[in-house]
Amino acid sequence: MQHILADLKVVSLTSILDILIVAYVFYRLALLIRGTRATALIKGLVVLVVATTVSSWLHLYTVNWLLKETMTALVVALPVVFQPELRRALEKLGQGGFFGGRLVAATPEQRVVDELVKAVARLGRQQWGALIVLERSTGLTEYLETGIRLDALISAELLVNIFYPGSPLHDGAVVVRHGRVAAAACFLPLAGGDGLSPECGTRHRAALGISEQSDALALVVSEETGGVSLARDGVLSRLAGPDELGACLAQALKSADLSAFLPRRRG
């Protein structure tokens, strides 16, 4: 016990600070290389180190010699192999973003919302009509089958190109399922005319119709005014613009309303 207490006395605040700094640097480096090819290369290096250690334990002298020579060659090759990652790390360091900047990409949920908001903003400025349906717990397969299957990662550029007036897919609705554009040019059921404003066109009626028959959310961009509307639970609401749309979707995210249309997480 006395030896343990003596060792604890040796550990000073400076040593703890030193360990925390090194741990934080390694943490930021891990965030920096996550999702890049460097991850696979590091796994390969770990395998080599383990194989070298095991071959030494088993007295496999030839194999151990070859692995050690390979490790020596890798020390020279690593700066070349990791050149893109090293350059990015130095750029982050020079911009002051290595220690305090956001190296982690936005969450899949937030990315979907951001892309939708950007797309709606561009479509509204151009006054290009659009209808985007976000599938939730109620399946929309029967409506997907009426359109063109895409199964593409959602992005503002993709949505704007789909609803470009010259595009063959601009008529009909886009259905978003699990964070992906599942299909375009889909036909939806139309709501009745009672209680709808005269300025509401076919897209608004389709948005209201699908929200009456399912729990889906439907975003509409008016071709006449560029205004944005949201249909939900059989109610069509006019929004002030993309900012309010982003706030509505973010609020729905907090209440887990949109869990069905967000990207599936891999276990």
Q: For the purposes of burial, counting CB atoms within 10 Å of the CB of 121, is it exposed (0-12), middle (13-18) or buried (19 or more)?
A: buried
The predicted-structure confidence for 170-227, as pLDDT tens digits, reads as follows 889 999 998 899 999 999 988 876 656 666 788 999 999 998 888 888 999 998 888 8
| More confident: 251 or 127 | 127
The length of the chain, given as a count of residues: 267
Helix (H, G, I), strand (E, B) or coil at 34: coil
Which residues are CB-neighbours of 179 under 8 A, at least 6 positions away?
108, 111, 112, 153, 154, 261, 262, 263, 264
Average pLDDT over residues 258-265: 49
> What are the tokens at 104?
């982690």
Has this prediction a pTM greater than 0.85? Answer: no
CA 256 to chain centre: 17
With bands split at pLDDT 50, 70 and 90, how would you rate the model's confidence at 267? very low
Q: Is the pLDDT of residue 262 over 60?
A: no
Q: How confident is the model at residue 130 (pLDDT cuts 50, 70, 90)?
A: very high
Enumerate helices (H) and strands (E) in the chain, giving the number of each.
10, 7
**C-alpha–C-alpha distance, residues 77 and 71, integer Å:** 10
Q: What is the mean pLDDT of the chain?
A: 78
pLDDT value at position 15? Answer: 77
Q: Please determine, for residue 264, whether its predicted confidence score (pLDDT) is greater than 80.
A: no
To the question of domain 108-254 being in CATH 3.40.1700.10, the answer is: yes
Query: Residue ranges per domain, the chain?
Result: 2-94, 108-254
Distances in Å between the Cα of 213 and the Cα atoms of 31, 58, 135, 175, 192 are 44, 68, 12, 15, 12
For the chain, percent of residues with pLDDT exceeding 70: 72
Residue 235's DSSP bridge partners are 232
